[in-house]
């Protein structure tokens, strides 16, 4: 039984190897500090949990969601965008999602045909390149590296390549490199997309996870961006609701409508009780988020200072809960990951999980409490692991 080409064409899933490695070490009874998946461990606001429990007692919340979406949720999402990012949107410019990953991948299916070309910076969150591949499209890599702040160099893209492309996918602050982009970059990206007739996707999953007062901007805040751009938002990271599967997309009404169209053929929308509780989350004001940011900033400081005491020379990233860490000489991303699991019981993601250009790096997700992060550093120290 031969799988469809769309599955066969996917690059190797390195995280499957990692899962095997974890299972082997766990079977030996080892206590692993797992800093692999960006699954936040801060709790959702208690008001949100209470709203969910209350919504469970309402019989209508156990039926299918409506195809048009929940108007209260949509309104709360639009208000949120205005309050948090100063972007003004109309009611036909939003669609609720079962998490932004679902929306990103289905958007690829809504707009890409086999052999269409998509510009994607690498390293990247896997759905940014796996979504287009699943839709049969070809990914044109925009390489990013430390010396250019992990931003693609749009000036270096050949005219003929840009003209062939149909779509460009960006996401800043970015997973896995934790880089943020300045407003000028978004202006340039919107200009570039318009010039070459590209659909511009911006994934703002980490819009609220920033430090040192460096708040990220929405791509839609660039003048004229709405003509070509769709932006993806999620409650997963901001409100510690990754398991709830709730996000939304905003932007150009035609792009939103096509995403809604493909979704009506694939799913029945979220569990209404989740939508009701998520609406409460979107109406919350900033006390909760300030505390959440403090939590991750503190973990960032412990981990960066700890690694630097072992020879690394890391700068503190201004956003996301990731650290993008070069591996010591003599290791690959995968062999260093293996070494960390086997000798220190610390599990991280090999950079190659985020595309080939992630070779030479590991990604650490700061998804455990301060004491465990301190312990991770001590385990590295005891195992003689250092950067040289």
Q: Which residues contribute to the site for ligand PLP (CB under 6 A)?
A: 38, 99-101, 125, 171, 175, 203, 205, 234, 236, 242, 247
CB of 242 to ligand PLP, least distance (A): 5
Residue closer to ligand PLP by CB (options 111, 125) is 125
Residue closer to ligand PLP by CB (options 238, 252) is 238
Residue whose C-alpha is closest to residue 348's, from 22, 5, 4: 22
In the structure encoding, which two tokens stand for residue 362, read together? 């590991």
Distance CA 37, CA 313 (A): 24
Residue closer to ligand PLP by CB (options 244, 288) is 244
CB of 234 to ligand PLP, least distance (A): 3
Distance CA 124, CA 118 (A): 13
Report the side by side order of strands in the sheet with 361-365.
322-326, 361-365, 349-350
Query: How far, rounded to the nearest angstrom, does the alpha carbon of residue 350 sit from its chain's CA centroid?
Result: 16
Distance CA 14, CA 155 (A): 32
**Number of C-beta neighbours around residue 115 at 10 A:** 9
**Number of C-beta neighbours around residue 31 at 10 A:** 10
SS3 77: helix
* Angle at alpha carbon of residue 60, lines to 54 and 62, rounded to 5°: 80
CB of 204 to ligand PLP, least distance (A): 9
Residue closer to ligand PLP by CB (options 38, 345) is 38
CB of 211 to ligand PLP, least distance (A): 17
Residue closer to ligand PLP by CB (options 288, 345) is 288
Residue closer to ligand PLP by CB (options 150, 162) is 150
CB of 177 to ligand PLP, least distance (A): 11
Distance CA 381, CA 372 (A): 14
**Number of C-beta neighbours around residue 106 at 10 A:** 25
339 in Cβ contact with 385 (< 8 Å): yes
| CA distances, 54 to each of 45, 57, 269 (Å) | 15, 6, 20
Residue closer to ligand PLP by CB (options 70, 203) is 203
Q: How far apart are the first and last CA of the chain?
A: 48
CB of 9 to ligand PLP, least distance (A): 22
CB of 195 to ligand PLP, least distance (A): 26
CB of 329 to ligand PLP, least distance (A): 29
Residue closer to ligand PLP by CB (options 251, 306) is 251
| CA distances, 117 to each of 76, 155, 162 (Å) | 35, 18, 9
CB of 125 to ligand PLP, least distance (A): 4
Distance CA 281, CA 86 (A): 18
HEC letters along 300-351 = HHHHHHHHHHCCCCCCCCCECCEEEEECCCCCCHHHHHHHHHHHHCEECEEH
Residue closer to ligand PLP by CB (options 93, 203) is 203
Residue closer to ligand PLP by CB (options 247, 345) is 247
CB of 126 to ligand PLP, least distance (A): 9
Query: How far, rounded to the nearest angstrom, does the alpha carbon of residue 369 sit from its chain's CA centroid?
Result: 21
């Amino acid at each position: 039984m031969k799988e469809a080409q769309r599955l066969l064409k996917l690059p190797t899933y390195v995280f499957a190897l990692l899962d095997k490695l974890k299972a082997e070490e766990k079977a030996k009874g080892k206590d692993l500090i797992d800093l692999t998946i960006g699954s936040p461990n801060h709790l959702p606001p208690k008001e949100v949990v209470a709203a969910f429990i209350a919504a469970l007692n309402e019989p209508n919340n156990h039926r299918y969601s409506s195809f048009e979406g929940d108007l209260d949720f949509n309104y709360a999402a639009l208000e949120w965008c205005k309050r948090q990012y100063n972007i003004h949107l109309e009611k036909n410019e939003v669609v609720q999602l079962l998490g932004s990953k679902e929306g990103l991948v289905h958007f690829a299916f809504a707009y890409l045909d086999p052999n269409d070309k998509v510009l994607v910076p690498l390293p990247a969150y896997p759905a940014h390149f796996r979504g287009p591949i699943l839709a049969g499209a070809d990914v044109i890599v925009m390489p990013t590296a430390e010396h250019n702040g992990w931003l693609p160099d749009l000036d270096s893209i050949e005219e003929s390549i840009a003209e062939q492309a149909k779509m460009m996918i960006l996401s800043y602050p970015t997973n896995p490199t934790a880089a943020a982009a300045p407003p000028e970059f978004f202006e340039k990206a919107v200009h570039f997309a318009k010039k070459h007739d590209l659909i511009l996707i911006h994934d703002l999953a980490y819009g609220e996870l920033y430090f040192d007062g460096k708040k990220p901007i929405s791509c839609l805040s660039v003048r004229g961006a709405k003509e070509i751009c769709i932006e993806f938002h999620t409650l997963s990271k901001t409100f510690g609701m990754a398991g709830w599967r709730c996000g939304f997309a905003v932007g150009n009404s035609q792009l939103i409508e096509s995403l809604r169209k493909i979704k009506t053929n694939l799913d029945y929308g979220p569990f209404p009780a989740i939508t009701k509780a998520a609406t409460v989350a979107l109406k919350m004001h900033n006390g909760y988020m300030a505390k959440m940011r403090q939590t991750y900033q503190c973990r960032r400081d412990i981990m960066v200072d700890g690694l630097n005491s072992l020879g690394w020379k890391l700068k503190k990233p201004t956003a996301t809960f990731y650290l993008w860490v070069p591996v010591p000489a003599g290791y690959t991303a995968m062999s260093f990951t293996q070494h960390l699991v086997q000798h220190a019981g610390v599990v991280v993601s090999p950079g190659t999980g985020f595309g080939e250009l992630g070779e030479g790096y590991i990604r650490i997700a700061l998804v455990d409490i301060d004491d465990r992060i301190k312990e991770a550093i001590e385990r590295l120290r005891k195992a003689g692991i250092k950067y040289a």
